[in-house]
Structure 1
Amino acid sequence: MPTVLVVEDEALIRDLISEELVESGFDVLQVSDANQAIAVLEARQDIHLVFTDIDMPGSMDGLKLAAAVRDRWPPIHIIITTGKARPMTIPPNALFIPKPYLTTAVISAMRTFENMR
C-alpha cells in the first residue's frame, strides 16, 4: 500500500481526508505543520506522496514544504491544496487541487502518479 503524508493544520479537514484515503487503500500519516512533516520524512523511507495545505502556522508554509520535499526527496509525489488563489509557481511534477475539493478528485489525482495505484 502506498503511504501518504497528510499535512494540514485544520484537524477536521486532516481527519476527514485521512479517513477517506485509508478507506481507499492508502496508509496514512497525519501531521499539522511543515516542521512535523520534515521530521517524519527524515525518519521514514516509505512515504510515497505528500498532500499538503499551503496556509499553515510555523516556520514554513506548504509551498516551502513542497520545495523542500522536491529538493531532498525527489521521488516523493506532491499534491498542494489551498482555499485561496492558485499559487503562481509550484514545484515540478507537483499537482494543485483547490479547496474545497472532493476526496474522489484527490484520490484520482493520487492514482495518476507512478507507484500510487
Structure 2
Amino acid sequence: MTKLDKAGGPLILVVEDEILIRMVMADDLRLAGFQVLEAINGEEALALFTANPHICLILSDIRVPGSIDGVQFATLVKQQRPDLPVVLVSAHLPDGRESVADHFFRKPYDQKAVINLVRDLSSADHLPDHNRDAL
C-alpha cells in the first residue's frame, strides 16, 4: 500500500493486472497531481477500498485475476458508495455488465482522454462532501 501525502491531490484506485499498463497509468495520474493506490486483482482492490475511505475514483480493468472481477468489484463499490465514480476498461467488447460503471473505455485507450475524465469526475464539483474534505 502507498503512504498518502495529505497535501496531495484526489486519491484514485487503479485496478489492473497488466503491470506495464498499471505502472504507466499510475505514473501519468501522479504526474497529473493525483495520489494513486494500485491493485492487481479484485480482492486487493476491495481491501484497499475498505481501508481508504477518501478514495475519489476507481479506475479498473474488467478482467482481473481472482474471484472478484472488475465488474463485481464495481458493483460492491456502488453498493457501499453509489456516488463514487467508477471507470471500467477492457480490451474486450462491452457485454452489458459494465453498465454499473460511470464510464467505459475500450483498450487500447487514449491515456490523455482517461486522465481528463478522471480529472473531471474527481473535481470538487463532482465529489460528495466526505471526499471534498480530503482535498
Instruction: Say yes or no: TM over 0.5.
Output: yes
- 2: CA distance, partners of 1:34 / 1:63: 9
Residues 80 and 96 in structure 1, CA contact (< 8 A), matched pair in contact too: yes
The equivalent of 1:60 in structure 2 is 68
Name the larger-Rg structure: 2
The equivalent of 1:107 in structure 2 is 115
Identify the match of residue 22 of structure 1 among 30, 33, 55: 30
What is the CA-CA distance between 1:92 and the residue it aligns to?
4.8
Identify the match of residue 41 of structure 1 among 43, 46, 49: 49
- 1: CA distance, partners of 2:109 / 2:83: 25
Runs (5+) with no aligned partner, structure 2: 1-8, 126-135
Runs (5+) with no aligned partner, structure 1: none
- Secondary structure in structure 1 of the residue aligned to 2:88: strand
The equivalent of 1:89 in structure 2 is 97
Give the ranges of 4+ consecutive aligned residues of structure 1 lying more than 2 Å apart after TM superposition: 89-93, 114-117
State which drifts further: 21-30 or 88-97: 88-97
TM-score (norm 1): 0.91
Identify the match of residue 70 of structure 1 among 56, 72, 78: 78
TM-score (norm 2): 0.80
Computed over aligned residues only, the root mean square deviation of the Cα atoms, in angstroms, reads: 1.6
In the alignment of these two chains, the number of paired residues is 117
- 2: CA distance, partners of 1:78 / 1:116: 16
Identity %: 32
Residues 87 and 101 in structure 2, CA contact (< 8 A), matched pair in contact too: no
